[in-house]
């Protein structure tokens, strides 16, 4: 991948679990490979236009990387492979058949608000991290 072209992570800005996941990624991505935007944002709508995805109907993290769009477990595993520390060891889970991986992913996604809570708005990142967000 061209180091000048960051990968973009789109996440549910109202989901506490999703926000925690972004914080997790940020801590393990000191080089700043990833940029971020909430699925509810105008930036996400613009980015997803060419990928035939409606962000308002999405129950998944989305990774835009090298002109391709990845969702659900595939997005999570592709993100993990670029992180520092133990998360990169999750990347080989890609060998698990996608219907099984995505089934587990969808189960958690379906219950995420009940289990982890919901926010009225996205948290404002600290100034040193804010530059990684597209808003």
Instruction: Give the whole-angstrom CA distance, residue 8 versus residue 64.
Output: 5
pLDDT, one tens digit per residue, over 68-77 is 999 999 999 9
Among 36, 28, 30, 32, which Cα is nearest to 8's?
Answer: 36
What tokens does 99 get?
């219907």
pLDDT, one tens digit per residue, over 72-112 is 999 999 999 899 888 778 877 888 999 999 999 999 988 88
Residues 6+ apart with CB under 8 A from 124: 130
Instruction: Give the whole-angstrom CA distance, residue 120 versus residue 83.
Output: 29
Q: Taking the domains of the chain in order of start, what are their residue ranges?
A: 7-130
The residue-averaged pLDDT of 109-135 equals 78
3 has a pLDDT exceeding 60: no
CA-to-CA separations, 95 to 74, 77, 90, 131, in angstroms, rounded: 11, 11, 11, 35
Q: Coil, strand or helix: which one is 34?
A: strand
Q: Coil, strand or helix: which one is 64?
A: strand
Instruction: Give the whole-angstrom CA distance, residue 55 versus residue 12.
Output: 9
């Amino acid at each position: 991948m061209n180091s000048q072209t960051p990968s973009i992570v789109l996440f549910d800005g109202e989901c506490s679990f999703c926000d925690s996941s972004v914080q997790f990624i940020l801590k393990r991505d000191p080089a700043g490979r990833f940029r971020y935007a909430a699925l509810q944002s105008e930036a996400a709508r613009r980015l997803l236009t060419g990928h035939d995805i409606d962000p308002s109907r999405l129950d998944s993290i989305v990774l835009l990387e090298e002109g391709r769009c990845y969702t659900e477990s595939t997005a999570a595993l592709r993100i993990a492979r670029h992180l520092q520390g133990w998360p990169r060891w999750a990347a080989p889970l890609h060998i698990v058949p996608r219907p099984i991986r995505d089934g587990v992913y969808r189960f958690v996604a379906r219950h995420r608000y009940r289990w982890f809570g919901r926010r009225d708005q996205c948290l404002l990142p600290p100034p040193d991290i804010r530059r990684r967000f597209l808003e």
